[in-house]
Amino acid sequence: MRPDEFQPAYLKLWQWGELSRRVEHGLEKLADCTLCPRNCHVNRVEDQTRTCRTGRYAVVSSYFAHHGEERCLRGTRGSGTIFFSWCNLHCVFCQNYEISWQGEGRTVTPDELAGMMLALQAQGCHNINFVTPEHVVPQILEAVLLAVERGLHLPLVYNTSAYDSLDSLALMDGVVDIYMPDFKFWDPEKARLYAKAPDYPEAARRAIREMHRQVGPLIMDGQGVALRGVLLRHLVMPGGVAGTADIMQWIARELSPETYVNLMAQYRPAGCVSGKHYSEINRGVSTGEFRQAAEAFRAAGLHRLDGDSAAILEEIAFA
């Protein structure tokens, strides 16, 4: 697919009537929720909640043109981010603790959520970027349908922890243009300790494989702005607790050496991390640790490194 041939994936589904069917199917699933690996089996249509604390309607903390995302998303006009409140993971170091743990934000109707997408499009954003969408897939689909009927035509970014169910990803097949999953932890015990989800590594591998099957490696336009594909994020953590080398090897082996990766150096103690709690990660990532992560990336045979990651490595080299 050439960049000049691109159109958002969801337009075809809308034209065929499939997008409406996906909305109906997604809302049916809310009545006995297994939309993420937690499998809570609550009736969210009646506002019953459990892990994600989200009922029939999504909660949004903010939406704006984000100029701090990856270069290929923000471009010159920003990525149109919509931050959903609550989360199906409980990462103890979350830098958005007030949003993900405390639910800061307001409940929005499908029409309001569609209006946010269209407002971001009107501002000139390159894409619509759903942040923490894992627990609100039906609500997103419902709003996308309304927004498309009112002229939405931007690529959709699914910005996720990768703690997704295959059922939810099936609903998004042909709707999402750009999947941007994190791969947080390789070891189940580390995932249990730091994200309260020992099944996270296996769930993430399963989900990321499916994302890659749907959209393949990242494709950009002539200005370097992402159009379609997988952009994989990995947060480098103190003491190597994330299992960076194993994750890089898996990406190259199970997805493709062409996978576009953002190695993130911005870890800092936040959330529940303090001198008394989780003291082993109560510090930033050292220069040496980030360099080792970059070496693991190269040793795996990967070569498509996000520009911001590459810039950090340049700074390290000349420091």
Summarize pLDDT for 20-35 with one digit per residue, the tens.
999 999 999 999 999 9
How many independent structural domains does the chain possess?
1
Average pLDDT rounded to a whole number, residues 135-146: 98
Contact 133, 54 (CB under 8 A): no
Average pLDDT rounded to a whole number, residues 290-318: 88
Instruction: Tell me what the pLDDT averaged over the chain comes to.
Output: 96
Residue 314 banded pLDDT, cuts 50, 70, 90: confident
Note the pLDDT of residue 184. 98
Average pLDDT rounded to a whole number, residues 125-135: 98
pLDDT at residue 308 above 90? no
pLDDT at residue 243 above 60? yes
Distance CA 21, CA 204 (A): 27
Note the pLDDT of residue 310. 79
Residues 262-282 have pLDDT tens digits of 999 999 999 999 989 999 999
Backbone angles phi, psi at 209, to 5 degrees: -60, -45
Note the pLDDT of residue 307. 83
Note the pLDDT of residue 6. 85
Note the pLDDT of residue 23. 98
Amino acid identity, position 297: F
C-alpha pair distances (Å), 50 with each of 38, 133, 194, 265, 271: 9, 16, 20, 32, 21
Measure the CA angle with vertex 16, ends 14 and 22; round to 5°: 60
Average pLDDT rounded to a whole number, residues 212-233: 97
pLDDT at residue 97 above 80? yes
pLDDT at residue 318 above 60? no
Residue 4 banded pLDDT, cuts 50, 70, 90: low
Residue 312 banded pLDDT, cuts 50, 70, 90: confident
pTM, two decimals, is: 0.96
What string of DSSP letters covers 170-204? HHHTTT-SEEEEB---SSHHHHHHHHS-TTHHHHH
Note the pLDDT of residue 296. 97
Average pLDDT rounded to a whole number, residues 306-318: 78
pLDDT at residue 316 above 90? no
Note the pLDDT of residue 238. 98
Q: 227: domain range?
A: 3-318
Tell me the CATH number at 142. 3.20.20.70
